[in-house]
Amino acid sequence: MRTPRLLRPLPLAAAIAAVAANARADSGVGVDTWRANKLDPTAGATVEGCDARGTSWLEAGGHRTPTGNLYACPPPSPATADHGAWTTSGILSVGAVATGGDDGNALWNRYVDWDGGIVLALLAFEAERAADGSYASVRASRISDDDEYYQAVFGRAGSYKVQAFLRDMPNLVTNTAKPIWNGVGTNHLTLPAGYAAGASTPDAIAGLSAATPERTLGVTREKQGLGFSVYLTPQWTAYANATDEQRHGARPFGGPFFFNFPFPDNGGVLETVKPIDDSTVNLSGGFRYAGTTWRMEFGYSGSFYRDRYTRYTYEMPFALAPLVPGAVSAPLTTGQFATEPDNDWHNLKAAFTRKLPLNGELSITASGGRMSQDDTLIPPVACAGVFGIGLDGNLQTGPQNPYLYDCANWNTPDALSRRSADMRIDTSLLDARMVLQPGADLTLRGGLRHEREDYRNVYLAYNPLTGQYGYVSENGSQGSVVPGESGIWDPTDPSAITRIRSLPLDMQTTEANIGADWKVGARDTLGATLAFSRYEPNHRERGTVDDGSIKLSWTNRALDWLTLRANYTYLHQDGDRYDYDPYDFTYSISLPGFVAPPNGVPAHTVDALRKYDVASRSEHKLDLMATFMPRDDMTVSASLRGDFNDYDADLGRKGYDTLGATVQWEWQPAPGSNASVYYAYDRSKLRMANINEINDGGSNPSIGGNTYVDIGRWWADDTQRNHNAGVVLAHAFGRVRLDASWNYLHARGTTDYRFASPLALAWADTVIGDGAGGGAFPAMTYRVNSFSVGLHIPLHERVALRVFDLYERGRISDWHYLGFATTHAIDHRVYTDGGPQGYDANLVGVLLDVRL
Amino acid sequence: MTAIERVIRILLGGALLAAPLAHASDDLIDLRDAPPVRGDAVAGKAKAAVCSACHGPLGVAVVPTFPNLAGQKADYLYWRLVTFKRAGDADSPMTAQVAHLDDAAMRDLAAWFASLEPAAGTNGAAGMPGATIYRDGDPARGVPPCQGCHGLDARARVGADDAARARLYPVLRGQHAAYLADRLEDLATHPPHTSTAHVMAPIARTLDAASIEAITHWLEAGAP
Amino acid sequence: MRSTDAIRRLLALVLGCATLVPALAQQSRDELAKSLPPTNLTSDDVQVGASMIGVAPGFANAKVADNPGAPGATAVGERTCIACHRLESEHFTHTFHALGLHAASKADASIPVCETCHGPGSAHAKDPGAKGLIIGYTKDSGTPIETQTKTCLACHAGGPRDRWLGSVHQRNGLSCTDCHNPMAKFSAEGLMARASINDTCAQCHRDVRLQFNRRSHMPLPEGQMSCDDCHNPHGSVTNPLLKTNSVNETCYQCHAEKRGPFLFEHAPVRESCLNCHTPHGSNQQTLLVTPLPFLCQQCHSGLRHPNDLHTPGSLGNGAHPDERAMGRACVTCHANIHGSNAPSGPKFHE
């Protein structure tokens, strides 16, 4: 029999599937599930209001979800027009917006670019052909050049769908940026004329910073996507998506040229500006089968990140000075950063589910992936001349100046042990789950999961030109201030301690769980789940981290007007012996010629510290949700959520507790009229402890030895309290609709600390006496009052006028930026970002809605 | 003032003027959450003298084109009077009758007629064709079983307790066939503007003449 | 020319070409309908040639749902349902299910419309007040949750819903209609119960939704993304219902630059982004759990500069302005904190 006509284009279809880019995916795969903007986050769903006739001619009011929440009101039927076999409907909403007040503020403009003027609030157009279920639709909204989306979809219901979209999303990071460099947004930042690199004074740079006008820094994402999904047969479907996202912009970043805090007029702490100019192509595609006994899914996902720049460089304004008298520091002028490497990711997945007797199911998912990057490596340093310290007072390299190095031996790719990164991680996952329902009231579940990440390469920091190991620390500055601390291990100076090897973080996790759900009577369901998880990381403080947990849940619908859900989890995490320093193999300590310094190898860290991701802890988690239905048209929902973690750690994170409660009242007396009020309180507290050393060369890692002693201990608690409240109203006065809302957030964070003695402090002279003490940072607060009101006035059968106003008042205080109002440059520190600011801003808009 | 602000002010002013013009009243009688009708049956009896001319002294009409009112639901009767009043149809004999009735009078009359003994009906047989349509509907044509709203015994006692429906939907048992046929035709052609008419009007339009004939005669027969 | 313009033109071209696809597919389907035996397996009286177009595969197996609450009921057809439920039907007509079911029903009269989801209607039509005689999806409908979800899954099994059984929402007794309402177009996409995906999740998860209002957050309140971008509420292979195999893989979907693998990795980053970030909203900059430097000092007590306790004296307006507490604190120097690809980047300075 000849290949049926339909099957012949299949290879081509498969090819298209393989090539097509990630457009909008579904709730199983991919992002871009929602396209809207701040002007209308519902993408036009509420433009037409509510159908005044209600939901049904048979009864009043609306219905509730099985949990008890009221459904929204159905919108009125769209006005349709017939064009032959096609029925069309649509709305075009255009108008103008204007902003006032602090409308340049970064918090006001986060993720939106109002750019006052004409806006296309919404173009939504749909066409349907009832005869065969074909449809086509277009939706678009444009606030400004950097804040817009367009999408087009067409297909046939139950047969195929093609979707394409284009969207630009702005992200404003700061509006108080004062970068002193030229070339912001490019990969080479230079000081303006008149300011010599490596030779400018702090006063001159402070003046330059003050004279630099404030500007914004942000990133815009431009994304295009194409995708399709198709029913090949009633059981088989195929999908393919592709997206390409470009990011353009710049953001405050960093730049180290060694400490300034212990060495006045020395070092360099530079908040440079990193250029963002990259693109990510995401692909996904697959086949799904859903039959009566079997279900299957085969999928491929790929992601390809490409960065325009491999590195960016910046000019260092300040000169460095050696700590040793009589010596001279190399003149360093240029710092560098490697930008994120181009990387590729491939992932294949296969999932099989088979129905079992006893109304059950067995699911097995296997997935394997690979993340790899082979970007060209930048040289260890971007200097010219020499770097390091000339102990004899001059800048001649040679045996008389063992800590002075020729840049020519380090500023070239020849100084690397290999030219490209060649790093790869292979991931694999196997997950099996079985559910059985032996009776109508009983469900039994069990699952097993195993996943691994395998690192496939290690990098050795070795310079073939010089036969030395290590790297050039902080653009050469550290070694130019402190002799012998360039980060280079030389066989003739075998006691230098420096990183020489990358850290491969292979890991595997194995999990098992069993559980049961039991319907006790018609109104109650109880559930219990026991889970065990073993996490085995390589080269971490613990080789085995075990989690055991029990989760109990209860759903109750005993009362007609109340639905209750409660969940409680207890988890205990433990593991094998905690090794405070498994990292020797990444340091020069592990080199054959290494000789321990006379006072011993300095302790890597204090051995009582527990890193919280592998620490032992117990956790209690509680979740309560209640939905009350006091009247047919009213719902009150309340929830309480708590998560309490206690870490078994003398030092490090000791506890992290969060508690949140919300209550919401909602009333829908008539179609087109509704009111809701909510209040939420959220509190979190993180407790930690640490210890300052008394001897920064001490070799004993234990407290009470020659390095760490009890009087160096300190503790800090960070408490966050958030109050949220809001009122939303909507009412129809005849045919005019009014909606108004007020939303309030008050967030307040306090960081308290206490210490055993001033020895624990960064600056002992900031406290009086030498006993224990404590204090707190100024509160970190963020308060927003947001008020919006809108009127929808029908002018004509097909035309309506919308007028709206959004007023927002924000107040923020972040103690990281205290003092930045005066200057962004203190001594050898230069900051670009001035921090977030409060604002009073208003948006007013007028739109004309025309039914198409 | 910027150009945008000027434009906004003009449009806002225009909108505020247009607002009253845009207001349109919707005169739908929404019975979906209508409160129960209560009236004084004794007072209603006193006012019912005029009604007996057409509807009979005990609420059982002699002329088959006039409906029996005895034992009819009070809520149904009341709202029927209200729709007569609102419609103001010159062709209907009821228009003149309701013209001088106030709200209390309509409630009282409804209560009075609801309290009366319903018509016994003639002898009928369960095997009449109308019975099948009444009980099972006509899926091929899209006619739902009348018993769903009007009750298995056509006394509008719906299966489960559902307050609004039990009050509003009329008793059909023992009603004159001719009247029922006229009523269905009215509903099909010019239904009153009530929420329940939105349900009955399309059903009335769907019923063909033969079905109407069968159902109405079966209902008149009063057979269970 | 901006790359966007080029892409737009390319897209227009592609879309133009793509419009040919349905034409091609349609011709093939017509030919197929003539050459292969009928594929409608739902009933015996197949109407071959009833429509040149045929039933769309997605609706081909639509049949009257099974309602254990009304064992003897028979199907009555859409017209009977509409007779009483006219307004519901009017709202329904403009939804996607209606488009597909009506077209399928035209091509093959044995494919039901209303009763595909609501089950056979004869018992309900006779006694509409009795609960459970028709499959209802609202509170007080009388239909058990299991029946509701089983009915939806009769067509919508597999794909994103493959892990529904045993998932946390299923175990907590949720029905499909707690989040979806296909009876009217409440939302622009997804047939949600509220105007958007985010509003739907916020019915129960209001506390999480409110966290997005904090100082640093991802653009969910601004409508640029939804809860569904990261989570699959229908069930997944992970505990927090993520769409990918792990937390990090979920984040890399939009933040691919953080994937690496970097030459020098930062262990907590590779293990989980949530070691330092909180995904829904934070009062710190960039979604951090705790202010710098304290965030880093939970793990770092190395000699020299990491483990000193800072006081307000270390701030920009203090007695000893200290770069370890000012501005972006630790990450001003350790800027490539997520991992560095620089050979001189073991401490993320480059």
> Is residue C53 domain-resident?
no
> Chains A, C: CB contacts under 8 A, how many?
650
ipTM at complex level: 0.93
Residue C16 touches chain A, beta carbons under 8 Å: no
Given C83, C87, C129, which is nearest B143 (Cβ)?
Answer: C83
Residue B32 touches chain C, beta carbons under 8 Å: no
Taking CA C118 as the corner, what is the angle to CA C112 and CA C123, rounded to the nearest 5 degrees? Answer: 95
pLDDT at position B33: 83
What predicted TM-score, i.e. pTM, was given to this entire model?
Answer: 0.90
pLDDT at position C42: 36
More confident residue, B12 or A528: A528
Per the structure, how many domains does chain A have?
1
Which residues constitute the domain of residue A349? 235-422+457-504
Given C31, C258, C303, which is nearest A602 (Cβ)?
Answer: C303
Give the residue on B whose Cα is nearest the Cα of C128: B148
pLDDT at position B130: 86
Same domain, C273 and C320: yes
User: Tell me: the pLDDT tens digits for A674-727?
Assistant: 999 999 999 999 999 999 999 988 999 999 999 999 999 999 999 999 999 999
> Is residue A376 domain-resident?
yes
Contacts of A810 (CB under 8 A, 6+ apart): A105, A107, A108, A782, A783, A784, A785, A838, A839, A840
Rounded to whole angstroms, the Cα distance separating B44 from B109 reads 4
> Chains A, B: CB contacts under 8 A, how many?
63
pLDDT at position B35: 87
Give the residue on C whose Cα is nearest the Cα of B156: C127
Give the residue on C whose Cα is nearest the Cα of A413: C343
- 8 A C-beta contact, residue A730 and residue A739: yes
> Is residue A284 domain-resident?
yes
The shortest C-alpha distance from B120 to chain A (Å) reads 30
> Is residue C41 domain-resident?
no
Using the beta-carbon criterion (under 8 Å), do C125 and B143 form an inter-chain contact?
no
Using the beta-carbon criterion (under 8 Å), do B143 and C86 form an inter-chain contact?
no
pLDDT at position B223: 53
> Is residue C278 domain-resident?
yes
Same domain, C88 and C73: yes
Using the beta-carbon criterion (under 8 Å), do A71 and C185 form an inter-chain contact?
no
- Residues of B with a Cβ under 8 Å from any A Cβ are 2, 4-5, 7-8, 11-12, 14-15, 18-19, 22-26, 28, 30, 32-33, 164-165, 195-196, 198-199
pLDDT at position A1: 40
Element (H, E) at A839: strand A839-851
Q: Which residues of chain A have pLDDT under 50?
A: 1-23
pLDDT at position B220: 87
pLDDT at position A678: 97
Write out chain C residues lying below 8 Å of A629, CB-based. 139
Using the beta-carbon criterion (under 8 Å), do C126 and B161 form an inter-chain contact?
no
Rounded to whole angstroms, the Cα distance separating B19 from A420 reads 70
Q: Can you tell me the mean pLDDT for B212-216?
A: 92
**Looking at the DSSP assignment, which residues form a beta bridge with residue A653?**
A688
pLDDT at position A20: 36
Would you list the domain boundaries of chain B? 41-114, 129-221
**Which residue, of C193, C211, C243, is where some domain finishes?**
C243
pLDDT at position A288: 95
Using the beta-carbon criterion (under 8 Å), do A4 and C245 form an inter-chain contact?
no
Alpha-carbon distances of A426 from A371, A511, C139, C144, C237, rounded to whole Å: 6, 19, 48, 45, 19
- 8 A C-beta contact, residue A672 and residue A49: yes
> Is residue A735 domain-resident?
no
Using the beta-carbon criterion (under 8 Å), do B23 and A735 form an inter-chain contact?
yes
The β-bridge relationship of strands A311-315 and A188-189 is parallel
The β-bridge relationship of strands A294-307 and A269-270 is unpaired
Using the beta-carbon criterion (under 8 Å), do B164 and A117 form an inter-chain contact?
no
Using the beta-carbon criterion (under 8 Å), do A743 and C213 form an inter-chain contact?
yes
Using the beta-carbon criterion (under 8 Å), do B162 and C77 form an inter-chain contact?
no
Residue B30 touches chain C, beta carbons under 8 Å: no
Highest mean pLDDT among A463-472, B134-143, B154-163: A463-472
**Which residue, of C243, C271, C296, is where some domain finishes?**
C243
Write out chain A residues lying below 8 Å of C287, CB-based. none
Write down which chains contact chain A via at least 3 CB pairs under 8 A: B, C
Eight-state DSSP code of residue A575: E
Mean pLDDT of chain C: 87
Annotated binding residue B146? yes
> Is residue A687 domain-resident?
no
Using the beta-carbon criterion (under 8 Å), do B139 and C80 form an inter-chain contact?
yes
User: Tell me: the pLDDT tens digits for C197-238?
Assistant: 999 999 999 999 999 999 999 999 999 999 999 999 999 999
> Is residue A557 domain-resident?
no
pLDDT at position C29: 40
- Binning pLDDT at 50, 70 and 90, where does residue B131 land? confident
Write out chain C residues lying below 8 Å of B140, CB-based. 77
Residue B193 touches chain C, beta carbons under 8 Å: no
> Is residue C25 domain-resident?
no
pLDDT at position C81: 94
Q: Which residues of chain C have pLDDT under 70?
A: 1-52
The β-bridge relationship of strands A562-575 and A634-647 is unpaired
Using the beta-carbon criterion (under 8 Å), do C83 and B148 form an inter-chain contact?
no
Residue B137 touches chain C, beta carbons under 8 Å: yes
SS3 content of chain C, % helix, strand, coil (to 5): 40, 5, 55
> Is residue A46 domain-resident?
no
Q: Residue C170 corresponds to which tokens in the numbers above? A: 């299923």
Annotated binding residue B149? yes
- 8 A C-beta contact, residue A96 and residue A118: yes
* Protein fold of B129-221: Cytochrome Bc1 Complex; Chain D, domain 2 (1.10.760)
Per the structure, how many domains does chain C have?
3
- 8 A C-beta contact, residue A822 and residue A90: no
CATH level 2 (architecture), domain B41-114: Orthogonal Bundle (1.10)
Rounded to whole angstroms, the Cα distance separating C62 from A133 reads 15
Q: Decide if pLDDT at B11 tops 60.
A: no
**Which residue, of C243, C270, C304, is where some domain finishes?**
C243
Rounded to whole angstroms, the Cα distance separating A687 from A753 reads 10
Which residues constitute the domain of residue C297? 255-350
SS3 content of chain A, % helix, strand, coil (to 5): 5, 55, 40
Given A34, A224, A343, which is nearest C196 (Cβ)?
Answer: A34
